[in-house]
A and B are shown apart, each in its own frame.
Chain A
Amino acid sequence: MTRYAYYPGCSLETMAASYHVSSMEVADRLGIELEEIEDWNCCGATAYSKVDELLATVLCARNLALAEKQGLNIVAPCNACYKNLWTANAAMRRDPDLAEHMNYALEADDLHYGGTVDVSHIMHAFVTDEAMESIRRQAGERIKGLRVAAYYGCQIARPRRPGVEIADVDNPTYFESLLRAAGADAVAFPYKLRCCGAALMVTNRLAAVQMLRDLLQGAVDAGAQVIATACPLCQTNLECYQAEVNRAYGTSYAVPVLYFTQLLGLALGVGANRLGIGKELVSTEIVLKRPIPAPACRGA
């Protein structure tokens, strides 16, 4: 059994609670054990790096030290948490002076980080050969033929991590493979790595709404019935602010946006309720229908 230190991140306790429960269900079906990091704190999101770099690093250093104490590598379901933890980890491994500085601060919580923890996005734990094989074996007909846009977002891929092939940064395909293993029809979605607007939804609404419109139109043009996300901020922006896009542009998008773990869970036979499906502002009824209705028409 594979075990990880699980870093849920703040959103998964509130706005993205369904991402949390569905991750747990899927991990359970795949024989992956997620052990939550004891007393973890916020990763700093994008805000801390805008205020102070060392401050941003120390927040992540504490989480890394806590995971090291548990003797496990970290998986994080949020793109931004993943990027922040990964970046702080790399910086401390690269720079012993920085590590010493951080460890001096961590002493105040009786912690020390020795640099032994690896950080991955939770999706990376679900796309190993073993996990994919298990998904193929267990997947029923539940989401067969559902046309899904695999939306990676930004920070799951960028900035590029050493050792990752350029192709996997410019045009990764593991998300699509994962959906196909679960029986879904992953459509070609050219905007799969384009930004959702992130915190600009708060700080520059016009910009974020325009970026969202491009994504939604891209998904419609690709013939997607659902957008699958791997990040709570992407999900929240795409779903909760879809009405705002419609108001601003006179459009009538009604594209369901689910976490990839919710779709995987359905495929693995988990009930919709246990996956948190039904808490959306944009109806996700289409994934609950059996069989999945054929798309009405492809985008013009």
Chain B
Amino acid sequence: MVVASTAGTISFREEVENLLHAEEGVSLIRCIQCATCSAACPAVEFMDHTPRELIALINAGMRDEVMASNTYWTCASCYACSEKCPEGIRPADVMYALTRYSLWKGTFNRDWVAPDFSRRFARTILRTGKSYEPGYAPAFIFEGGFPGMVREMRMAVRLLSRGRLPLIPSRIKRIRNLRAVVARILPLDGIE
């Protein structure tokens, strides 16, 4: 439940909760800081704030810290936290909500691979209706330096020779209709 705060403005926590309108789950104010979410998270070591800390920062209204965090971009969507939370909070859905918010507000770190990858993926689907793995390579292939790039290329060749990588993207028959469907949700310019 979203509770109106004083002075007619809404708090940062309420703002985040409003991003969750379509999800089930309970208010972040129920968080008891038990850190079960952090203990359940397999990627926690790679986050600048643990899921527990992130919820504490949200509840404390510390917007700048939250928006600068890599935590939600490091979430693998395994839902272990949501399953284990004794209060019924669904941290995995909060992570999704914050990635959307940070893309919308443009607050993410431009050096991170994840935001670029998500947007490339979204664009690919709009072009063909299906995912095409080689199309995402520019988002990450330079990350491992030259040796990393050579390793990726070598693996791609081995996969190609086994018929596991497509040379050209396949597309659905009614891609124009799919684009028209999507355009009724969001202007395509905003995605492409």
Contacts and interface: CB of A to CB of B under 8 A. Distances in A.
Contacts of B139: 202-203
Contacts of B46: 204, 206-207
Contact of B172 (A39, A105, A280): A39
State which size class the interface on A falls in: 35 or more
A54 interface: yes
B42 A105 contact: no
Nearest to A281: B158
Given A39-B174, A158-B78, A47 B185 contact: no
Contacts of B181: 58, 62, 105-106, 108-109, 111
A281 B161 CA distance: 11
Nearest to A166: B83
A50 interface: yes
B117 A14 contact: no
Contact of A50 (B103, B180, B182, B183): B103
A204 B43 contact: yes
Interface in B26-83: 42-43, 45-46, 73-74, 76-80, 82-83
Interface string B127-168: 001111100100110011000000100010011001111100
B45 A207 contact: yes
A104 B125 contact: no
Interface stretch (A22-30, A137-145, A191-199, A264-272): A191-199
Interface stretch (B1-9, B10-18, B92-100): B92-100
Interface residues of B, number: 63
A195 B42 contact: yes
A108 B177 contact: yes
A294 to B, nearest CB: 30
Interface string B108-124: 00001111011101100
A11 B131 contact: yes
Nearest to A10: B131
A108 B180 contact: yes
A5 B46 CA distance: 40
A29 B182 CA distance: 39
B186 A154 contact: no
A208 B76 CA distance: 9
A50 B74 CA distance: 12
B129 A42 contact: yes
B123 to A, nearest CB: 10
Contacts of B163: 17, 279
B70 to A, nearest CB: 9
A279 B182 contact: no
A86 to B, nearest CB: 12
Contacts of A13: 130, 166, 170
Contacts of A55: 122, 182, 185-186, 191
Contact of B133 (A15, A107, A198): A15
A200 B74 contact: yes
A15 B165 contact: yes
Contacts of B183: 108
A13 to B, nearest CB: 6
Contacts of A158: 78-80, 82-83
A53 B100 contact: yes
A158 B90 CA distance: 11
Interface of B: 22, 42-43, 45-46, 73-74, 76-80, 82-83, 90, 92, 96, 99-100, 103, 112-115, 117-119, 121-122, 125, 129-133, 136, 139-140, 143-144, 151, 155, 158-159, 162-166, 170, 172-174, 177-178, 180-186, 191
